[in-house]
Amino acid sequence: MPSGFIIRIEPNKRSPENAAFIQRVILNHLWSLGVIMYVLLCGFPPFYDENDAALYQQIQKGKFEFVSPFWDTISKQAKDLITNLLIVDPKKRYNVDQALKHPWFTEALPTHKLDETFNKIKDAKVKHSFRAAGMAALLKNRMKK
């Protein structure tokens, strides 16, 4: 079966291990939501390192920061929600109900800072484009050798 397809299993037909699997999948998606929110609000990922082993260590420890100046104008509520979605222990991580009831979702959000956020995302994209172009040039030169 191709990835990305969803099969609906009626609750009365689920095995206990299947129900546990579904819960783990949902918690994984909530972690992903935290990562996506982080990227959307500042323009770069919460976990980054050139060294893959160091990157995996950051992820396993849940070690990230709200880097200034990129996060200076982002609300405490947004930071709190992301922090609770990026908890390594799935038993302590927000579940769907907790996330949806978080004040960041339930209270009105100001829109006057959106332009600044969009500009940060554009800047990050430009930096990424230059890095990608540099990597392409390096690879091209290596292939010629």
Per DSSP, helices labelled H in the chain are: 16-42, 52-61, 76-85, 96-100, 103-106, 114-144
Architecture of domain 1-109: Orthogonal Bundle (1.10)
Its pTM stands at 0.61
pLDDT above 70 for 15: no
Highest mean pLDDT among 19-23, 30-34, 82-86, 89-93 belongs to 82-86
- Provide the token pair at 37: 């929110």
pLDDT above 70 for 57: yes
Domain ranges, ordered by start, for the chain: 1-109, 110-145
The reported pLDDT for the residue numbered 113 is 66
- Say which residue, 18 or 78, is predicted with more confidence: 78
The reported pLDDT for the residue numbered 34 is 94
Cβ within 8 Å of residue 67, ≥6 positions away: 42
- Compute the average pLDDT of residues 114-135: 67
> 68-72, 88-92, 132-136: lowest mean pLDDT where?
132-136
Which residue matches tokens 């302590």?
Answer: 92
pLDDT band for 97, please (50, 70, 90 cuts). confident
- Say which residue, 82 or 29, is predicted with more confidence: 82
pLDDT above 60 for 96: yes
pLDDT, mean over the chain: 78
